[in-house]
Amino acid sequence: MGRPAVFLDRDGVLNRAFERDGVPVPPRTLDEFEVLPGVAEACAAFRAAGLLLVVVTNQPDLARGTLDPTLLQAFHDKLRAEVPVDDIVVCPHSGHEGCWCRKPRPGMILDAARRHGVDLDRSVAAGDRWRDVDAAHRAGVSSVWIDWGLGEPLRDAPGARFGSLAQAREYVLEVCGAPRA
Ligand SMILES: [Mg+2]
Ligand SMILES: [Zn+2]
């Protein structure tokens, strides 16, 4: 019997992502790192309901050498200052490294769940790309697809689709509060 958790993708879910050539890209400067409307309030509601909040984010630019680790730290300091998250887990690898943590692999979710004593049956992962939806399913948690209009195709069908995390708030609370089977 563990705690329910919400596993949150970062870019495009918590903070604004940008589109370049049809592909979402993360912020590149601290000014571009902007927490999206309603995110702080939704996360406060999740915390108030007893949910653990874990950010799980692929950051392959670390492996590519195009993201300075000190800038990543500054992004996450800004995020923590505005949004009450319990943990931030980063996959620093590129797609070529075959690591266990890069979504769609479930490593970040499963390792954090073990560390924090999470009840996966009552947990949800929210993300804006197919990798997030597939990682949720491989880890055995419900999925919420945040569709901000990029038009990128999914692979697995998500459990639910919303235009923002703020709009997903009641759904997440319902899934995580559902009685255990
Ligand atoms: Mg994302
Ligand atoms: Zn990794």
Nearest ligand, measured from the Cα of 93: 2
Annotated catalytic residue 111: no
Q: What is the pLDDT of residues 35-61, one digit of tens each?
A: 999 999 999 999 999 999 999 999 999
pLDDT of residue 3 exceeding 50, the answer is yes
pTM of structure: 0.96
Between 35 and 151, the higher pLDDT residue: 35
DSSP codes joined into one string, 119-168: -GGG-EEEESSHHHHHHHHHHT-EEEEE--S--PPPSSPPSEEESSHHHH
Annotated catalytic residue 119: no
| pLDDT at position 150 | 84
What spacing in Å lies between the alpha carbon of 13 and ligand 1's midpoint? 6
Q: What is the pLDDT of residues 105-146, one digit of tens each?
A: 999 999 999 999 999 999 999 999 999 999 999 999 999 999
Structure confidence at residue 179 as a pLDDT band (50, 70, 90): very low
Structure confidence at residue 180 as a pLDDT band (50, 70, 90): very low
What spacing in Å lies between the alpha carbon of 48 and ligand 2's midpoint? 31
Nearest ligand, measured from the Cα of 131: 1
| pLDDT at position 138 | 98
pLDDT of residue 181 exceeding 70, the answer is no
5-175 has CATH 3.40.50.970 classification: no
C-beta of residue 161 within 8 angstroms of C-beta of residue 127: no
For residue 91, say whether it is annotated as part of any ligand binding site.
Answer: yes
- Give me the mean pLDDT over the 91-115 stretch: 97
What spacing in Å lies between the alpha carbon of 57 and ligand 1's midpoint? 8
What spacing in Å lies between the alpha carbon of 108 and ligand 2's midpoint? 8
For residue 43, say whether it is annotated as part of any ligand binding site.
Answer: no
**Exposed/middle/buried for 130, CB within 10 Å: 0-12, 13-18, 19+?**
middle
